[in-house]
């Protein structure tokens, strides 16, 4: 099972709810932040493990 | 005369067997004790290492050499480089000779112990076969087991089992690394490579040839690999969104009710998870595989193929 923090950036507005649901389905606590261009950055935190840091791709 | 187990019925057999046992045990005892032979695996050396160390220590009084180095009347500035190099070279030679003696003596002791124990065990087993009495066999068998057991106990406790070759290899490699720094330094002026740096490097050179140094080196190497693995792991935790045909197929297989219903199919989820775990993706969320950037594209394609998930272009 995944652990720690995983992020996915530039998620289109129409797909963000699906992406959030996907991370939540495996037990993550999910937050999202809107970018200036209208896309979203989704951050999923799983119990245990280390953080993945905040660097973007 | 009593037999080995004190039972009169076996007395005659025990008495006949005793000279043979005694002769055999004396033979193997002599093989193990006070016997001098060349160290196995080491050709004859052309000089006496210990004597040479003593001679070098007498010739190069290193404390005095250091004092002389810093006394400008004894060693004027224009001669300091030569003095530095002479001192460093002398220390290097002594460290090397002592190291060689240390490593070869260590191997010798283990090999000697192996040989002695093997011979003793062989002798005891032969004697056990030779004697007729069951009690004698039992006693000799117990002694043989004791020898074997002792050898195993010593191996475990004092010779680090199979880690010894690893330690020696690590020491050799670490010494070479430090030696490069020393040899490089000796090509430089005393301003760029002062004696103090040389002495510090010599200490590092000595430490590299110790078991503690080798263990620290192994631990540091493992730590560096862990840091590298951590960096790689951090890399894949952060991705950007990418939608492709394989990803959409996986998403639909996982959430059959899309786009309105985002409830997951638990059986399909377990199937995808199992596939990912089997392919070294235990720490990757399914959603990252499904909509992660181009680094995950080939993996998505492989997943749909191997899980036989239909793909709609």
What is the value of pTM for the model shown? 0.43
Mean pLDDT of B228-257: 85
Q: Is the pLDDT of residue B285 over 90?
A: yes
- Which chain A residues are within 8 Å of B262, Cβ to Cβ? 17-18, 21-22
Strand B238-240 relative to strand A4-11, pairing: parallel
Residue to mutate among B232, B233, B238, with most A CBs inside 10 A, is B238
- Contact, A44 vs B276, CB < 8 A? no
Residue to mutate among A1, A3, A8, with most B CBs inside 10 A, is A8
- Whether A3 sits inside 8 A of B283 (CB atoms) is yes
- Contact, B245 vs B313, CB < 8 A? yes
What are the pLDDT digits (tens) for B51-81?
888 887 877 777 888 899 999 999 999 999 9
More confident residue, B68 or B224: B68
DSSP class of B265: -
Mean pLDDT of A46-52: 68
Mean pLDDT of A9-35: 96
- Whether B285 sits inside 8 A of A44 (CB atoms) is yes
ipTM over 0.85 threshold: yes
- Whether B238 sits inside 8 A of A52 (CB atoms) is yes
DSSP SS3 for A30 = strand
Element (H, E) at A8: strand A4-11
Q: Is the pLDDT of residue B233 over 70?
A: no
pLDDT at A54: 42
Number of other residues whose CB lies within 10 A of the CB of residue A33: 10
Among A19-33, B1-15, B241-255, B265-279, the least confident range = B1-15
pLDDT at B275: 95
Q: Is the pLDDT of residue A50 over 80?
A: no
A41: β partners: A33
What are the pLDDT digits (tens) for B119-177?
455 545 544 554 445 555 565 555 556 556 556 555 555 555 567 777 888 888 888 88
What are the pLDDT digits (tens) for B197-215?
898 889 889 988 898 888 8
Closest chain B C-alpha to A36 CA, distance in angstroms: 15
Q: How many CB pairs under 8 A join A and B?
A: 96
Closest chain A C-alpha to B222 CA, distance in angstroms: 19
Q: Is the pLDDT of residue B17 over 80?
A: no
Count Cα neighbours of B89 within 13 Å in the Cβ-side half-sphere. Answer: 9
Hey, what's the torsion of the CAs at B233, B234, B235, B237, to 10 degrees? 90
pLDDT at B36: 44
pLDDT band at B100 (very low <50, low <70, confident <90, very high): confident
Q: Is the pLDDT of residue A14 over 60?
A: yes
B206-215: burial string, b at 16+ Cβ within 10 Å, e else? bbbbebebbe
Residue A41 class from Cβ within 10 Å (0-12 exposed, 13-18 middle, 19+ buried)? buried
Among A18-27, B18-27, B284-293, the least confident range = B18-27
Q: Does B133 lie at the interface with A, CB-CB under 8 angstroms?
A: no
Number of other residues whose CB lies within 10 A of the CB of residue B117: 19
Mean pLDDT of B27-55: 61
Across the interface, of B243, B269, B293, the residue whose CB is closest to A57 is B293
- Whether A53 sits inside 8 A of B269 (CB atoms) is no
More confident residue, B97 or B9: B97
pLDDT at B12: 42
Q: Is the pLDDT of residue B10 over 80?
A: no
């Amino acid at each position: 099972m995944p652990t720690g923090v995983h992020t996915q950036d530039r998620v289109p507005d129409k797909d963000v709810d699906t992406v959030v649901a996907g991370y939540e389905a495996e037990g993550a606590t999910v937050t999202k932040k809107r970018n200036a261009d209208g896309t979203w950055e989704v951050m999923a935190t799983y119990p245990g493990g280390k953080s993945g840091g905040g660097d973007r791709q | 005369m009593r037999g080995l187990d004190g039972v009169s019925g076996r007395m005659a057999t025990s008495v006949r067997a005793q000279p043979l046992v005694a002769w055999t045990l004396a033979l193997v005892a002599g093989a193990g004790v006070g016997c001098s032979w060349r160290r196995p695996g080491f050709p004859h050396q052309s000089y006496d290492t210990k004597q040479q160390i003593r001679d070098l220590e007498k010739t190069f009084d290193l404390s005095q050499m250091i004092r002389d180095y810093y006394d400008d009347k004894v060693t004027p500035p224009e001669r300091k480089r030569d003095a530095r190099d002479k001192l460093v070279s002398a220390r290097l030679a002594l460290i090397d000779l002592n190291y060689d003696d240390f490593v070869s003596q260590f191997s010798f002791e283990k090999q000697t112990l192996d040989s002695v124990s093997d011979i003793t065990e062989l002798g005891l087993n032969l004697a056990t076969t030779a004697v007729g009495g069951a009690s004698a066999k039992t006693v000799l068998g117990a002694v043989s087991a004791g020898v074997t057991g002792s050898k195993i106990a010593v191996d475990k406790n004092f010779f680090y089992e199979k880690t010894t070759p690893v330690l020696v290899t690590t020491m050799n490699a670490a010494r070479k690394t430090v030696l490069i720094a020393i040899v490089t330094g000796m090509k430089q002026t005393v301003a760029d490579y002062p004696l103090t740096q040389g002495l510090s490097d010599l200490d590092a050179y000595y430490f590299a040839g110790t078991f503690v140094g080798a263990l620290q080196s192994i631990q540091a190497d493992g730590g560096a690999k862990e840091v590298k693995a951590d960096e790689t792991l951090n890399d894949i935790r952060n991705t950007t969104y990418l939608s492709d045909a394989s990803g959409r197929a996986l998403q639909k297989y996982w959430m059959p009710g899309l786009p309105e219903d985002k409830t997951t199919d638990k059986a399909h989820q377990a199937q995808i998870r199992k596939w990912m775990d089997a392919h070294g993706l235990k720490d990757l969320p399914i959603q990252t595989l499904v909509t992660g950037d181009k680094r995950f594209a080939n993996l998505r394609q492989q997943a749909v193929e191997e899980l036989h998930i239909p793909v709609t272009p």
